[in-house]
Amino acid sequence: MNQRPMTYRLDFDHPPADPVPVFKAWFDEAELLPLPNTNAMYLATVDADGRPSARTVLLKSFDDRGLVFFTNRRSRKGLGLETHHRAAILFHWDALDRQVRVDGAVTHTSDEESDAYFRSRPRPSQVNAWASEQSMPVKSREALEAAVQHIEARFAGAPIPRPPHWGGYRVALDAIEFWQGDKFRLHDRIRYTRQDDGTFVVQRLCP
């Protein structure tokens, strides 16, 4: 059951041709929820051996080119994306009884985009991006904190540059699906599939 009223109602029988304004409207409403991290999204990747894995990352920007997040490119998800340049994403906003699914090709953001976002992060987060070999084994919490102290000393009194192994990924909107919950599991679903000319084929789906 919805916990707050919604102001944007998607007409699933007569949807707009462009899904980006729909996503923006849904995302803007989600951000008004009294909950942390409404920009959290589940990211699914496949490794070199074909094994899938999923985790939560934070959406940092979006436009008609796709959805952007940032991470260590030597992490498990980073290595998977460097091998198979595709990913699936899921947003779930339970308070709105809504989900959005995205499937698409994955590319690096530009160095300029990655640098700009890294500079916007708190300094401790910048330090930790250098100190943590994400997804790799670590002997103890003490060893992890020692790595942090080493990086703090290395860059003491100076700006911290973006690590060469850290940056953004953009997941293209090759397919984007909107799901609105309804009574007795008779939900509304619609999928946009991008064509070679950039337009979208739109299909209503059974729940």
Q: What is the pLDDT along the chain (207 residues), one digit of tens a residue?
A: 445 556 788 999 999 999 999 999 999 999 999 989 999 999 999 999 999 999 999 999 999 999 999 999 999 999 999 999 999 999 999 999 999 999 999 999 999 999 999 999 999 999 999 999 999 999 999 999 999 999 999 999 999 999 999 999 999 999 999 999 998 989 999 999 999 999 999 999 999
Distance from the first to the final alpha carbon of the chain: 17
- Residue 190's contacts (CB-CB under 8 Å, 6 or more residues apart) are 10, 12, 15, 177, 178, 202, 203, 204, 205
Question: Beta-carbon neighbour count of residue 193 at 10 Å?
Answer: 16
Query: Where in the sequence is the domain holding 65, given as residue range(s)?
Result: 19-122+164-205
Domain at 188, CATH number? 2.30.110.10
Name the domain count of the chain: 1
- Asked if residue 12 belongs to a domain, the reply is no
- Asked if residue 104 belongs to a domain, the reply is yes
Beta strand 175-180 with 61-63 is: unpaired
Beta strand 188-194 with 166-171 is: unpaired
Q: What pTM, to 2 d.p., does this model score?
A: 0.92
Catalytic residues: 185
- The conformational region for residue 137 under phi > 0 = left, psi -120 to 50 = alpha, else beta, is beta
- Asked if residue 131 belongs to a domain, the reply is no
